[in-house]
Amino acid sequence: MAGTSIISIASPADFHVHLRQGDLSNLVTPHVSQGGFHLAYPNLKPPITTTAAALAYKRSLQSICPSTHFLMTLYLSPDLTPAEIRTAKEAGIVGVKSYPRGVTTNSEGGIENYEMYYPVFEAMQEVGMVLNLHGEVPSDPTTNTHILNAEPSFLPHLIKLHQTFPNLRIVLEHATTRAAVDVVKSLGPTVGCTITAHHLALTVDDWAGQSWNYCKPVAKYPDDREALREVIREGHPRFFLGSDSAPHPPHTKSTSAPSSSCAAGIYTSPILLPLVAHLLEEFGALDRLEGFVSTFGRDFYKVEGQGGKVTLRKVEGRKVEERWALGGESVIPFWAGKKLGWEIIENGV
Amino acid sequence: MAGTSIISIASPADFHVHLRQGDLSNLVTPHVSQGGFHLAYPNLKPPITTTAAALAYKRSLQSICPSTHFLMTLYLSPDLTPAEIRTAKEAGIVGVKSYPRGVTTNSEGGIENYEMYYPVFEAMQEVGMVLNLHGEVPSDPTTNTHILNAEPSFLPHLIKLHQTFPNLRIVLEHATTRAAVDVVKSLGPTVGCTITAHHLALTVDDWAGQSWNYCKPVAKYPDDREALREVIREGHPRFFLGSDSAPHPPHTKSTSAPSSSCAAGIYTSPILLPLVAHLLEEFGALDRLEGFVSTFGRDFYKVEGQGGKVTLRKVEGRKVEERWALGGESVIPFWAGKKLGWEIIENGV
């Protein structure tokens, strides 16, 4: 694809994004479309545990951006029942997300005791819902578990879940390690994996002393980043984009005192497609762009394409905005002030 | 030593500390003594490459703190000659420091090409000067070298230097890994190792998103921290304190924008002895305090005790100051606002 200066692809889908509530949601929800994506699968804190709440949140997002297609999820918690799974499915809810609670209640080795959810997973498998896993175990100095091996330490749980529910579609979210890539590749066709844009760019050296590059899972070693790049170059159809783009008020990303840590999260939504094109071109995978951002994820989730084609043009270097603001809220994006080699010229909706 | 409430030890010595120049030096140099230490072995940037410059710097420090004993070093650079080593020795200079240049000139695998310095090392071995090594290789994504394996990757250079100059005293500075501890233990009696206070407290989880805990070398994994604690509990005489205490203006420790990284360094000088006592007590090594902070280092450097005994008293919890300031300069210490279990009640000079 050397020399390509125009790329036109099927409508991109972001299978992991944070769109918040209230004023911040008003600011960031339109950025999904601005970044070239017309399908979003949002996370929310506080977690959504009922179908009614998920539908209410969907209406709120849809009122901000009528042209974006929102797929909704529930949060895995002890309140969730097989009956609620069936209700959710009928209402169009697509999946259930599990992420660390940061507490030890109901946990086994620091993560959810998944066995208590087996009836729920059974129902999900039956109706065809997707289980989304934040694949990290909590740090524990006594077992030498820390933020850099938290993901590899989680993988046995993924393997066990897949073996127990081979027909349940499971997505390992925001993979960051070669170990995760290898395990997902080794599993059956029902196991997929999202990769963020920023984990294709960063390594541990980049967030050391630079809190704006700090996110969870943290970016790992160069060889791990290389594994993420390789699986995209290879065009593996079970690996697709989930940006995990997370807006944070700028003051929460700065550590002004030793007593307070900064918020974990990197914001890529408004520049997402040009950024991904830029990165894929850098590591020789530009010909995999459409699969990675558009078709692979839609195929795995079994959702039809929504919206028209999106067209990018190669440019000399388009500067990323330093900040976006609306109604008292503001966000600073990843690569603020840096230059991207691609821009959107046709954002078909 | 359970139940001990008063500890009196031979005068502590800090074998690695940053004392700066100008106004900042006026603020921080007295903190060495305030922290219970009466011998300091300072680093300086810009590096000191001549005996005359080292003696001038010593006079400057001595004029700020006449009661503190300062041991001086030169910086390893191509300007250094065997003749200058002999001049330095006669003038009372104790060692030569080598730390990464961050450039590739004169480098071999990213570090100094030590072979070009063999005549200098030969002279140092002959006159009995100490070689201080910052033991890290630069990051290189193509070889999967990053800030977390930079120290283990350096160790073959340490081994080779020791084998080539078995009578040259070498100190591996601020060790942070089990690999470094194991290698130093395996080498002969001429190889010593300093350990900082903050590396006894922190792991990688603590500097993720918290730039005030960011230093070079970065704190590593829990098992590495455990290795540092073990070798102190063991009372190994070639492992002793070098705080690497480094004052930075507070604004340089905060990352207010994605474009600027924060300064690497942690400031412990004004609370050093109570902090070390607190930490050693926490991991069951309080009975090794005197060896670790006073006698082991002095024995290795062959310097007599300077100053009288220092006495600590156990306290319920003495709050660390939030900030020290003088003449427009200010510093925020490690553990600002946290409580320490020991305080100095007799600071014999």
Beta bridge pairs of residue B67: none
In a domain, A202, yes or no: yes
**Residue A170 predicted with pLDDT over 60:** yes
Residues of A in contact with B254 (CB under 8 A): 254-256
pLDDT at B340 > cutoff 90: yes
Is a pLDDT exceeding 80 seen at residue B2?
no
Q: Within a domain: residue A328?
A: yes
The predicted complex's ipTM stands at: 0.93
**Does residue B256 register a pLDDT over 80?**
no
Task: Pick the residue from chain A with its C-alpha nearest to B335.
Answer: A258
Arithmetic mean of pLDDT over chain A: 93
**CA–CA separation, A27 vs A45, rounded Å?**
17
Q: In what helix (H) or strand (E) does residue B260 lie, and over which residues does it extend?
A: none
- Check pLDDT > 80 for residue B3: no
Domain containing A261 equals 6-345
Q: Which of B168, B98, B109, B177 minimizes the C-alpha distance to B133?
A: B98
- Which alpha helices (H) appear in A35-144, and where do they start and end? 51-64, 82-90, 118-127
Question: What is the reported pLDDT for B115?
Answer: 92
Residue B82 domain-assigned? yes
Return the structure tokens found at A347: 């954002």
What pLDDT score does B47 carry?
Answer: 82
Type of residue found at B330: S
Q: How confident is the model at residue B334 (pLDDT cuts 50, 70, 90)?
A: very high
From A210, which residue of chain B is nearest by alpha-carbon distance? B261
pLDDT band at B79 (very low <50, low <70, confident <90, very high): confident
CB contact (8 A) between residue A259 and residue B336: yes
Q: Could A213 and B258 be called an inter-chain contact, meaning their C-beta atoms sit closer than 8 Å?
A: yes
Q: How many CB pairs under 8 A join A and B?
A: 118
Give the nearest chain B residue to A202 (CA atoms). Answer: B141
Q: How far is B258 from chain A (nearest CA, A)?
A: 5
At A341, the pLDDT band (50, 70, 90 cuts) reads: very high
- Identify all chain A residues contacting B332, using CB atoms and an 8 Å cutoff: 257-258
Section A261-277 average pLDDT: 96
B187-219 pLDDT, tens digit per residue, is: 999 999 999 999 999 999 999 999 999 999 999
pLDDT tens digits for B148-179? Answer: 999 999 999 999 999 999 999 999 999 999 99
Q: Cβ of A139 and B261 within 8 Å? A: no
pLDDT in tens, A176-195: 999 999 999 999 999 999 99
A12: closest CA of chain B, how far (Å): 27
Mean pLDDT in residue range A311-325: 96
Q: What is the pLDDT of residue A218?
A: 98
- Asked if residue A41 has pLDDT above 80, the reply is yes
Compute the average pLDDT of residues B261-286: 97
Task: Find the mean pLDDT for residues A73-90.
Answer: 95
For B108-137, what is the mean pLDDT?
A: 89
Chain B neighbors of A230, CB-CB under 8 A: none
Residue pair B101/B77 in contact (Cβ under 8 Å)? The answer is no
Instruction: Tell me how close the Cα of A283 comes to any Cα of chain B, in angstroms.
Output: 13
Contact call for A205 and B147, based on CB within 8 A = yes
Taking contacts as CB-CB distances below 8 angstroms, the residues of chain B near A218 are 208
pLDDT score of B106: 45
Chain B nearest-CA distance from A339, in A, is: 13
Distance of CA B288 to the CA centre of its chain: 18
Q: What Å distances lie between residue A4 and A286, A294, A311, A315, B336, CA to CA?
A: 9, 19, 12, 11, 55
Return the pLDDT at A305: 67
Question: What per-residue confidence (pLDDT) applies to A257?
Answer: 78
Report yes or no: A271 and A279 within 8 Å, Cβ to Cβ.
no
The shortest CB-CB distance from B264 to any of A209, A256, A261 is to A209
Whether B1 is in a domain gets the answer: no
Query: pLDDT at position A105, please?
Result: 44
Q: For residue B275, which phi and psi values (nearest 5 degrees)?
A: -65, -45
CA of A151 to nearest chain B CA: how many angstroms apart?
A: 14
Q: Please tell me the distance from the alpha carbon of residue B293 to that of residue B276, in angstroms, as a whole number.
A: 8
Produce one character per residue of A45-57: b if its CB has 16 or more CB atoms within 10 Å, e if not. eebbbbbebbbeb
Helix (H) or strand (E) holding A341: strand A339-347
Residues A277-297, mean pLDDT to the nearest whole number: 98
Please tell me the predicted confidence (pLDDT) of residue A197.
98
Residue A104 has pLDDT above 50, yes or no: no
Domain CATH for B332: 3.20.20.140
Exposure of A11 by Cβ count < 10 A (0-12 exposed, 13-18 middle, 19+ buried)? buried
Q: Cβ of B212 and A332 within 8 Å?
A: no
Asked if A292 and A234 touch (Cβ cutoff 8 Å), the reply is: no
Please indicate whether, in this complex, the C-beta atoms of B254 and A258 are within 8 angstroms of each other. Answer: no
Q: How far is B222 from chain A (nearest CA, A)?
A: 5
Domain count, chain B: 1
Q: How far is B137 from chain A (nearest CA, A)?
A: 13
Average pLDDT, chain B: 93
Tell whether the model's pLDDT for residue B43 goes beyond 60.
yes
Give the span between the Cα atoms of A128 and B334, in whole angstroms. 52
Which residue from A221, A334, A337 is facing B144, i.e. has the nearest CB?
A: A221
Residues of B contacting chain A (CB within 8 angstroms): 139, 141-142, 144-149, 203-205, 207-214, 218, 221-223, 225-226, 253-259, 261-264, 332, 334-337
Who wins on pLDDT, A24 or B79? Answer: A24
What's the gap in Å between the CA of A322 and the closest CA on chain B?
Answer: 9
CA–CA dist B62, B55 (Å, integer): 10
Residue to mutate among A177, A216, A259, with most B CBs inside 10 A, is A259
Mean pLDDT of A217-229: 98
pLDDT of residue B105: 44
Maximum average pLDDT range among A259-263, B80-84, B345-349: B80-84
Whether cis (ω within 30° of 0) applies to the bond prior to B274 is no
Give the nearest partner residue to A204 out of B148, B254, B332, using CB atoms: B148
> Residue A195: which of A172, A218, A216 has the closest Cα?
A172
Q: Do B210 and A256 touch (CB under 8 A)?
A: no
Does a structural domain hold residue A168?
A: yes
- Three-state SS string over B85-153 comes to HHHHHHCCCCEEEECCCCCCCCEECCEECHHHHHHHHHHHHHHCCEEEECCCCCCEHHHCECCCCCCHH
Residue for token digits 């790329």?
Answer: A7
Residue of B136, B143, B144, B334 to mutate for A, most A C-beta atoms under 10 A: B144
